[in-house]
Homo-oligomer: A and B are copies of this chain.
Amino acid sequence: MDPGLTRCGIGVVDGVAGRPLRMVGVGVIRTPADAEIGDRLVLVERGIEEWLDAHRPEFVAVERVFSQHNVQTVMGTAQASAVAMLCAARRGLPVALHTPSEVKAAVTGSGRAEKAQVGAMVTRLLRLDAPPKPADAADALALAICHIWRAPATNRLQQAVAAHRTARAPRSPRAPRSTKGRIT
């Protein structure tokens, strides 16, 4: 999920690192700018719940919010991301946060890539006919891809499973690659 009050991008990607990925769904939850903030958060919550109900993801990745930009925008983003994390955690789903530069670096090789470059790589990696619009939707898919590729290192559940499997034996340097169906 690429959280926002005006537009909250949602992307669902199925796959594992090292194999072709598949886009399961993509969309944007919108809320009216002139509505009360509480009502906007309720609309974001409903939208996210519908996506979670429809796709039953195994993992949720949310863009990590920074405050270097416009203060008002950052507040809205932080509040929408809180709702995203709340919805996921309420279902017991593992929530991962990735920064915008981590996402860009994962899909383009550069943490300072332009929006268009991210869109182009998302289109290529998911074998789409055209870049998803708006940018929030493409960003959500990029986040999903980033999470699938980074998950072996970041997902605690996987780590716990791996730790259990290897018991007291030395840890394998190779991370497990058995996850799929993440929603971002």
Contact = CB atoms under 8 A, between A and B. Distances in A.
A38 B48 CA distance: 14
Contact of A78 (B39, B45, B75, B97): B75
Nearest to A42: B89
A31 to B, nearest CB: 11
Interface string A74-89: 1100111111011011
Contacts of A85: 37-38, 41, 79
Contacts of A75: 65, 67, 78
A169 interface: no
Contacts of A36: 89, 95
A89 B90 CA distance: 18
A167 interface: no
Interface in A40-64: 41-42, 45
Contacts of A80: 82
A39 B82 contact: no
Nearest to A35: B89
Contacts of A130: none
A33 interface: no
18 contacts: A37-B85, A37-B97, A38-B89, A41-B82, A41-B85, A41-B86, A42-B90, A45-B90, A67-B71, A67-B74, A67-B75, A78-B78, A78-B79, A79-B81, A82-B83, A83-B83, A83-B86, A86-B86
